[in-house]
Amino acid sequence: MAVPRFDDPSPAVGSPGDVVLENPAFEVLVGLKNLRQLRSTLIEVAGRVAMSGDRDQRGILVIEGTDVTDHRLSEEWQIIQAILKPKVLDRLALVIRRSGLSDQVFGRLLEQDANGIERVVAYERTQVVQSSKAPGEAFFEVLRVLLIRWFRKMDPVMLKHLSKLSGYSYPTVAEALERLEPHLKRYSDRRVELRSFPRDAWFQLVAQSEKVRSSEGYADRSGQPRPVEIMQQRLGKYDLKGLGLEGAVAVGGVLGARHYEPGLDIIGAPRLDLVIHLKTWNQGSIHDLLRHLDPALQPAERGEPCQVVIHKLYRWDSLFYREVSLFDVGPYSEYSPTGNQWADEVECALDLHEMHLEAQAMEFIDRLVQKATAA
């Protein structure tokens, strides 16, 4: 089957292996801006197909999110149909992907090709996000990783490992650590850990949260939202493995915060926050996942109350808190018949802030800090 494969079986974000494609050749455009860009890229893909020595060589252009309307895309495809020779056109496909909607396909797309799209796009998105990240965002990523490790009372981390965990180069991580110096404990063997809670840095992260995180909201417009607990139950019954999402989905938000701090002063959960770890994500469909949670969900407009929010996590290690079977208990696992995965403590706290549950967010942080500093 023609699917993308990676030179490095577990590429860290920031130093990924190249995608090697035999047939079909994928091209991904994330956030298509205009038709000129579409036409030139389609012609480029068509050229590669035409010039290939292989008569069966196919080319697939995937548009991942665009503001261009379906009608205009359809018109553009008709123009392409008129321009290209049938023997080339027959080996081309254009796939339009919009969040929360089924894919729209122009041209001929084989089933096995369709199966490869999700992973190619996931990989491409990590590249786009990495390359578009401002250096300042490295600071927040390093901060997040250090906070999680501190909250969990984990051992100090080697700088090299911190670089891998955060997905940033050694010098970038070193620069970020300088800003955290007053709260840092350094060891002679190049290990570091937090010694206290960096309150100022935390509030900077909260203020920049929307920019730093990649989140998409989904709303119920029926006036009869499905209860969050029901959606969580449905998530537990979902065949994540069969759908390429095994290990890639974790519950955050109020439910996650309550998992870490059951005594937290929050009644009910206004929405379901899910974190998707893109490195673990293997061709799974977020559209299918959402449909399973509640088929009535629609992509939310800006400012519209959401029933589900999906946060995409790009770093190398998800740092999810896994509930595993009794026979697989590790230092950061506990027995649970449901096998839930929980987003890390920082994700949950940021979700609470995002929901304007400020008092609860601070209560949550204070409790975590108390535990971290307890003997």
Our finding on whether 221 is near other proteins (CB under 8 A) is yes
The two structure tokens encoding residue 342: 């929980």
Q: Which is nearer to other proteins, 241 or 356 (CB)?
A: 241
> Is 101 a residue that touches other proteins (CB under 8 A)?
no
| Secondary element (H or E) of residue 200 | helix 199-207
95-to-33, 65, 136 alpha-carbon distances in Å: 15, 10, 34
Q: Which of 296, 324, 362, 369 binds other proteins (CB under 8 A)?
A: 296
Q: Can residue 331 be called a binding residue for other proteins (CB under 8 A)?
A: no
Q: Is 287 in the site for other proteins (CB under 8 A)?
A: no
Backbone angles phi, psi at 247, to 5 degrees: 75, 0
The helix/strand/coil state of 192 is: strand
- Return the closest-CA partner of residue 343 out of 374, 369, 364, 370: 364
Binding residue (CB under 8 A) for other proteins from 291, 322, 367, 371: 291
295 binds other proteins, rule: CB under 8 A = yes
Binding of other proteins by 98 (CB under 8 A): no
Q: Is residue 151 a contact partner of residue 372, using CB atoms and an 8 Å limit?
A: yes
In whole angstroms, the minimum distance from the beta carbon of 226 to other proteins comes to 6
Query: How far apart are alpha carbons 167 and 131 in whole angstroms?
Result: 12
Identity of the amino acid at 320:
F
Nearer to other proteins, 31 or 236 (CB): 236
Given 43, 83, 134, 230, the residue binding other proteins (CB under 8 A) = 230
Choose the binding region for other proteins from 17-25, 110-118, 124-132, 216-224 (rule: CB under 8 A): 216-224
Please identify, using beta-carbon distances, which residue of 216 and 294 lies nearer to other proteins: 294
- Cβ 41 to other proteins, closest distance in Å? 31
Is 220 a residue that touches other proteins (CB under 8 A)? yes
- Burial level of 341, CB count in 10 A (0-12/13-18/19+)? buried
In order, the DSSP letters of 301-353 are: PTT---SEEEEEE-SS----EEEE-GGG--TTEEE-SS--EE--HHHHHHHHH
Report CA-CA distances (Å) from 334 to 26, 151, 325, 331, 342.
Answer: 41, 17, 8, 8, 12
Judged by CB under 8 A, does residue 222 bind other proteins?
yes
Listed ranges 12-20, 140-148, 200-208, 292-300: which one lies at the site for other proteins (CB under 8 A): 292-300
Q: Residue 236 CB, nearest distance to other proteins (Å)?
A: 12
The smaller minimum CB distance to other proteins, of residues 138 and 269, is found at 269
Residue 224 interacts with other proteins (CB under 8 A): yes or no: yes
Q: Which among 64-72, 224-232, 253-261, 362-370 is the span making contact with other proteins, rule CB under 8 A? A: 224-232
**Taking a C-beta distance cutoff of 8 angstroms, is the pair 364, 255 a contact?**
no
Point out which residues bind other proteins (CB under 8 A): 220-224, 226-227, 230, 233-234, 291-292, 294-296
